[in-house]
Structure formats: C-alpha cells, structure tokens
Amino acid sequence: MSDELAKALARDVNCLAEENRNTRRRALQKLSSAVLDASPPLAPAVLLELWDGALRTPLLRALSDPVEKNREVALALVTGVVERLPDVASSLATSVPTIAARVGSAPFEEGCEEVRLQLCELSELLVRKAGAVASPLCKELCAVACALAADSFPDVKRAVCALVRALVVAIPADALGAQCPSLARALSANLGHQHAKVRATTLDALCDLLPVDDAPLVELSERLAMLAADHTPGVREQCTRRLGELLVRLRDPAVHYARLLPPLLRLLSDELPAVRALALDALGAAGERAAPGATGDLPTVAHVAPPPPPSAALPSPFDTAPAWPAVQLVQAHLPSLMGAALGGLRDWTVGGRLRYSGALLGTLWCARGAATDHLDALLAALYAAVDDDDGAVRAQVCVCARMAGAGCEPDALMTLALRHCAADGASVAHRSACLHTLTLLIAGMGPAGVGAHARALAAVLREPRFCAPPVALADDATTAHVRMQTRLAAVVSALLAAAPSACAAEPQAYQLYCALMQLAAVPAAAGGEYAAQARALAVLDEQLAPACGAAGAGAMHLRFGGRLIEQLVSAVPIGDTSDTPATRAAACAGVDARAADSAAPAPFGAWTVGTHEWHVLQAVLQHADGRFAAEQLLVVFPPLAALLEPSREPPLRLTALALIRRLLSDVTFCAHADFAEWAGHMLDALLVPNLVWRAGRAAQQVRLAAALCVRALLALEPCPVPPEHLRAAMPAALPVLRSALEDESAETRLAMCAAMARLLPWVGNSLTDEHVRSLYPDFLKRLDDANDDVRLAVCPAIEALLASAIYDAHFQKPGSNLDETNLCYLVRGVLVHLDDFSPEIQRAAQRVVRAAIRVNPAKLCAEVSAVRERHRSPKLCDALIAEARAASAVDV
C-alpha cells in the first residue's frame, strides 16, 4: 500500500522542486491533506515506510524553502508525520542536521521566529521519541538549544527549556555531561528575562540539567539567589521547590551547600506563607539527606536553644525553634554561610543587601548558639548595616539583630556589645549604631539573659560620652548626635522593659537615673526638637519609677537627685557607685572647703556654658520638685555663686540666672523654709552684682535676666528676705539698683521699677535724706520714659517712696529723710503728667499726687492750684485740690 500511495503522491512530491512558489505551496498542502488527514488514518508502519522512502528527503529540503509560508507548511507536515511515526531513529541522521543548519548557530539561517519556534519544538519531539538513540547527535542538538536560547522570541526560549529537559531525560549522563556547561551558560542568561514564565521554565530546565553535571552551579549560584528574591511570587515558589530538589538530587550536595543554602535560607523570610512552608520543607529534606547516618560529615552534637522570647517580636517562622535536621545542616556549614551573608551586607545594590540580610536571618535562626563563635564579624556587620540607606534593608537587619540576641550566648554577646559601645575614639555614627544594635539585642535576649547583665549595661549607659552636647557642629554632625541620644533613651527603655526587677536594684537604678538625667540635660540641637530629652523623661516617669516602686519621676529625684548633685559639684564621676554614704556626706560638707583650697579647686570653677555637668545640674533642679531644689541649696549655692561671678562669660551667667528665675517661679520652692534662709544671700551675692552696668549687648542681657530675678524674688508673698536684711543691704545695693533704672533696655527698666515698688515699703524709712534726694529724680526720669509701660510701672514706686519716707518740713525731726523742698520738686515733676495724653498715665499720676497729699496736704493744695490753669482740663486738679483741702481742713 505504501508503494501505491507513493505513486499517488509522486506528482505532488515532484512539485516541491518547482520554481513557482504557489506550486510548491499547493503541493505541500496536498501532501499534508493526503498524509495527515487521510481517512482512515495511515497505519504507523505504512507511514514510516512512506516517510523513509518518498517524503523525508524532499520535505526536509522544503524546510529551506525561500518562502516563509512554504517553510511553515512543510515544517507542520514534518512535525505531524514525526508525531505519528512509531520510530524516528532512521530520521535522526537527516532531520537533526537539517534543523541545525537552520537554527544551530547565530545568526540564524531561519529568519522567521515562528518557524524557529516550530523547529525547536520539532527537535524536542525527535529527542523525546528517539530517547537514547539520539545520543550520537547530542552535540548538534545541544548546539541548537544553545543558539535558540539567545533568541529574542520568549516562546522560543520556553521551547528551548522543553528541549533541554527532553535531552536530560533521553540522553545518558555520560554523553550529555560534556555539553552541560555550554547549555547551562546559554540558559543562565534567561534567568533574568523580563517574562516570569521564561524565568520559571529556564529554572526548571537548569535544575533538571545540574544533577547531570553540577560544575556550572559555581557560576549559576548568584543568579539562583536573585530568583529567590524575584518580584513574582510564582517564580519564588518555583525557585524554592527546585532548590530543595537540587539539594536532594545532586550527587554530592555538600560541595554546593554554601551556594544553595543561602537563597533557601532567605526564602524562610518570604512574604508568602506558601513559600515559607516550601522553604522549611526543603531545608528539612536537605538536612535529612545530610544527616550523620547518610554522610558522616555532620556533628552529632550541635548548639540548641529554646524558641526566641516573645519580646524579640520575630516574624513567622522565626518565632519557633527550627527543625533539628536543619540545625545540623546549617551548623555544619556555618563558617561559609555566615561569611557569605555578612559579606553580602556590603553589596552595592539594594536587592543584593536584601537577599543577604534574609540569608543571614535564616542562618542565625538555624545556627542558634553556634553563631557565638562568629560574634566579632556578626556585630561589625550589624553596626554597618543597621543604618542602611534603604528602609527595607534596615528592617531586615533589625530582625537579624533580634535573632542574634535570641540565639547567641548572652555572656559573650553582652561583653562584646558593651565593649564596642564604650570604645574610646569611636565616631558618633558608630556609637549610635552600637546603641541601636544593643537595643535590638536586648529585645531578642529576653528577661533571663538581660537581667544577668543589667549591672554591666547600666554602668556603660551612664557614661557622659553618649550625651556630649553638639556645640557649633555642622547639620549632619548634629543629626548624628541627636540620633545617638534618641537611641540611648531607647536602650534604657528596652533594658527596663526586659528586666525591670534587675534594674530596680542598686547600683543599677541610680546609674540608669543618671543616664536618663544626663540625656534630659542635653541642649536641643539648632532647629531641632527635644525628642530625645522628652523620651528620657518619659522613661524615667513611666518605666524606671514603677520598677523601683516609686510614685513617678518626682520620687526618683528625691531618692537619687541629691546624690547626683553631690557628684556633679565634686570630683566624683557621674553615676559612680564606689563612694559610700559617709564619703558622700563628706563631699557635701566639704564643697566650700574644696572651693577655698587652692590645691584642690572645686570643679565648677572651670565650668563653661557647654559643660556637661552644668547642664545636668540644671536639668535635675528644673525637673525635680521645688521642695527638693530648696533642700539642695546648701550644695547648689556655691556653684551658682561661682558661675555668677561678674568675671564669668555672659552666656554662662545667663543660664544660671535662667535657672534661678525658674526656681523662683515654683511655689513649693519659694514656700520652703530652706529657701528663706538663702533668699537674702541670693539677692546680695547672686543677683545684685549682675545688675552692675557693663558695656556690650551680652552684658545688657545679663542685667535684664538679673532684674527679672530681683523682681520675682521681691514679688513673693511674704517676702522671703527679712526686712532687716534688706535695710542692711541698701547702702551697697541702692546705687546698683538706681543704675539699672537707667538701663538701655526698656524691659530692664520696667523690671526695676516693679522691684523698687516692692522694695521701698520695707526699706523706705531706713533711707537717708541723701538716698531719697538721689532716688526721686531717677523716678521722675522714668515718668518721662519713651515706654509707657515703664511710666506706669514707676508710679507705684514713687507712691511707695512717699508712703515709707519720714517727712519733716525742715529736717528737724530725727531720722527724717524727706523735707518740704524735695517734696515740692517731686510733686511738680509728677503734676506735669496729670495732663498727659494717656488716660492711664493721668490716673497713675493722680494716685502719686494723692500719696503726696497724705504727706503734706496744705503744700500739695498750693502746688496743684498753681498748675491748674495750665492743664487742658482742670477736672483732676480740682479733685485733688478738694482732697487736699479736706485732708488739711483749710479753705484756700
């Protein structure tokens, strides 16, 4: 029957050689209809005989037809015939070379991508049907696959993967092994293709090819790692599954553990639960194969640890204990795994750092305590990566740090971490990274591990080096300081959260109090906020105080504030716990003695506006209860006196005066009995000397600050300064107070007018006539002040002077300090302002004249009458004249 069919088709077969393209196409179409669409279908044996005898050579020649459509029809016919053939062994010798001639090398002879796809599919069909018989043509088939792998058509790339997988199944390993490197190299380029399906099918082909010859895996490992972080979930899932298969199917997987385990470990932290589950299963299966009974190269004893504590806040599956086979596998190859992961954290690409940080997390989870042997390198890498520019990398590294805290030996971990935090000469950025990492390690360690090291932690955290105020720094340096200070507060907070009972014991509680107060004392950076300072005060009030059983921050100041102040004003380092109560009492009692001893001067004598101890002293006194501050005046007064010496720089004195003003605004401070003992000394020794006029704008600000303090002190009810003390101080203080009335600053003049109004009722009767004669002209000048507030404020001072003065018309009365002549001069200066444009000034001047009427009504009646006609409105003068007449009972 095949002979008859061959004769019937002979005309069409001969037409395949015609020059007319349409004739060739019609012939191909007729042949396709006769062979493939025959009814009933041709028997396989008949078709094989027809193919070998009449069709194979002309049809294979038609694959090179110059017309694209003819090649497509011919190729479809050949493919259809090959699919129906019972045996293709006889066709390989001619078919494969023909295909190789068309697409076996670049540039391709075949220019149509659809035809190239059909040729690739035909090659895969031939290999699949031929099986091992195709081994002699393995080189040509592999050349076709390598060439087509570089085709730009995605469908061709996927067809190549099917061809490679067919070759792996059909060709014996010894025959295919020599071609594996070239095949792997050609396919590897498609692992980064833009189409996810191409990446997935290429991965399948490579993972089927690598068990034949695993040498190409050395070059492919980096690309496989990139697929483990692919943005397409399906590709990551496929990669997870295939990596697990490789670890089981490779002849010697131990050689490639360092290459295959990192991407698999990274997949443990994938965002999809399905991928994480696959990675866990794959890692467990690899561990089972590499168990001691199978390979003999793994240790039988490994570091194990319980699940991480809840405080570590680790994502799934890292919040549980890993499977034992996975632990054995990772610990056996830990040096290479750890080295690769830590080195990758310095990768120049964000994607690379993300991959390696994920691999590090999985490695630490399985390594557990065995990672302790790599702490030096691990901590150094964490310090460098914890402040990565990319937020996703930073978040992943933070999880790694918490995992390290949960798995590593606490003693070794804390010893190294604290040594790095306290290292001399470290930059601010490095110290900040150390503190941030320490916070994460503490969170991972849990209460048991942290509690045993609370004392060492507190001793390091109280060091002033973490709170050095940024003075005149560039913006970037200031930002680094602020970040470090914020992280210091976070470390203390984490420590208190992890082990509150251990932190409440001595000396930890006092040292942590010192650390928080030093942090609260740091001046705010230029243009910055008090974020770190506010956090420190919140930690003190909300964490340290409850841990110590204290009712808030105020109770903590009462417990530890005095001790801290004593250390600040002495030579004892802040937070030092080597001193005993006896030595602390001696230090307190000996403050004045040390200040007077030239061989051992008090440390506050060298303080400047930027001195750290001075900032801490201010913070303690400002944030503590006023009663506590009053009780500390015995210790605090000597440093304040030294800082307010007129020879000290103005900025320093301004800060000291601001502190005094803050204390004077505290009701509990002013009401305390201890303050009453020191109030007079505060006025004489601290405030009045700073009212003395000195040239310069800074000196003007100092005078203003001192004047505000004097006003606040004298405004207290009752006045804490005894009247006899005020009277005794007047001979020396009055010239200074008078000079302040003439200050360039209106605010200073205003404050001094108010202060004089409070002062004169207590000292007016003790003033001499010389004092009064020199004082009231200064008051009259202030009535002519350019500032209306000052003009109003001086009127009560004049009233106080008139009310407290001892009047005698001719100074015949003993102790008198105001006579008729000076009274008249004073009243005449005030009467001018009865006609002021401001009604407020008029009323204030009227009150002054009324006070003068009580001194000498008759004389005042005459003085007011003398100026009545000069005023625009005589109403006020008439009222005052009436009052004077009533007071003197004389009708003028």
Task: State the pLDDT at residue 428.
Answer: 86
Instruction: Tell me the pLDDT band of 891, cut-offs 50, 70 and 90.
Output: very low
Does the structure show a pLDDT above 60 at 284? yes
Does the structure show a pLDDT above 70 at 305? no
DSSP H/E element including 475: helix 475-498
Task: State the pLDDT at residue 601.
Answer: 72
Pick the closest to residue 757 from 726, 793, 729 (CA basis): 793
Higher pLDDT pick, 18 / 305: 18
Rounded to the nearest angstrom, the gap between the alpha carbon of residue 277 and the centroid of all alpha carbons in its chain is 32
Task: State the pLDDT at residue 240.
Answer: 92
Task: State the pLDDT at residue 525.
Answer: 59
In three-state secondary structure terms, 818 is strand
Picking from 134-138, 326-330, 763-767, which range would have the lowest pLDDT averaged per residue? 763-767
Q: 781 with 879, same domain?
A: yes
Q: Name residue 818's beta-bridge partners.
A: 807
Average confidence (pLDDT) over 644-655:
94
Residue 74 lies in domain: 1-86
Please tell me the total count of domains within the chain: 3
CA 206 to CA 227: how far, in whole Å? 13
Instruction: Tell me the pLDDT band of 477, cut-offs 50, 70 and 90.
Output: low
Q: Name residue 807's beta-bridge partners.
A: 818
728 CB neighbour count, 10 Å cutoff: 15
Whole-model pTM: value is 0.80
Task: State the pLDDT at residue 528.
Answer: 55
* DSSP state string for 846-860: HHHHHHHHTT-HHHH
Q: 27 with 81, same domain?
A: yes
Does the structure show a pLDDT above 80 at 471? no
The CA-atom distances, in angstroms, between 144 and each of 108, 123, 131, 147, 200 are 10, 8, 17, 5, 21
In three-state secondary structure terms, 831 is helix
Query: Tell me: the pLDDT tens digits for 187-202?
Result: 999 999 999 999 999 9
Residue 51 burial class via C-beta count within 10 angstroms: exposed 0-12, middle 13-18, buried 19 and up = buried
Instruction: Tell me the pLDDT band of 55, cut-offs 50, 70 and 90.
Output: confident
Task: State the pLDDT at residue 596.
Answer: 44
Q: 736 with 784, same domain?
A: no
CA 510 to CA 512: how far, in whole Å? 5
The three-point CA angle 116-120-126 to 5° equals: 140
Average confidence (pLDDT) over 445-459:
88
Task: State the pLDDT at residue 229.
Answer: 86
Does the structure show a pLDDT above 50 at 782? yes
Q: 712 with 775, same domain?
A: no
437 CB-near residues (< 8 Å, 6+ apart): 379, 382, 383, 386, 401, 417
CA 265 to CA 517: how far, in whole Å? 44
Does the structure show a pLDDT above 70 at 720? yes
Task: State the pLDDT at residue 662.
Answer: 94
* Residue 883 covered by a domain: yes
Whole-number average pLDDT of the chain: 87
The CA-atom distances, in angstroms, between 310 and each of 306, 403, 445 are 12, 11, 10
Picking from 269-283, 307-321, 451-465, 839-853, which range would have the lowest pLDDT averaged per residue? 307-321
The three-point CA angle 193-194-198 to 5° equals: 55
Phi/psi of residue 807, nearest 5 degrees? -95, 140
Query: Tell me: the pLDDT tens digits for 216-249?
Result: 888 888 888 888 888 899 999 999 999 988 888 8
Q: 704 with 795, same domain?
A: no
121 within 8 A of 76, measured Cβ to Cβ:
no
348 within 8 A of 393, measured Cβ to Cβ:
no
Instruction: Tell me the pLDDT band of 475, cut-offs 50, 70 and 90.
Output: low
* Residue 703 covered by a domain: yes
Query: Tell me: the pLDDT tens digits for 349-360?
Result: 998 899 999 999
Pick the closest to residue 355 from 446, 261, 429, 424 (CA basis): 261
809 CB-near residues (< 8 Å, 6+ apart): 819, 820, 856
Query: Tell me: the pLDDT tens digits for 377-415?
Result: 999 999 999 999 999 999 999 999 999 998 899 999 999
Structure tokens at 258: 């360092």
* Residue 888 covered by a domain: yes
Task: State the pLDDT at residue 670.
Answer: 93
Q: 723 with 772, same domain?
A: no
Q: 757 with 844, same domain?
A: no
Q: 720 with 791, same domain?
A: no
* Residue 192 covered by a domain: no
CA 232 to CA 247: how far, in whole Å? 23
Out of 717, 739, 764, pick the residue that ends a domain.
764
CA 265 to CA 247: how far, in whole Å? 13
Does the structure show a pLDDT above 70 at 840? yes
Q: 818 with 889, same domain?
A: yes
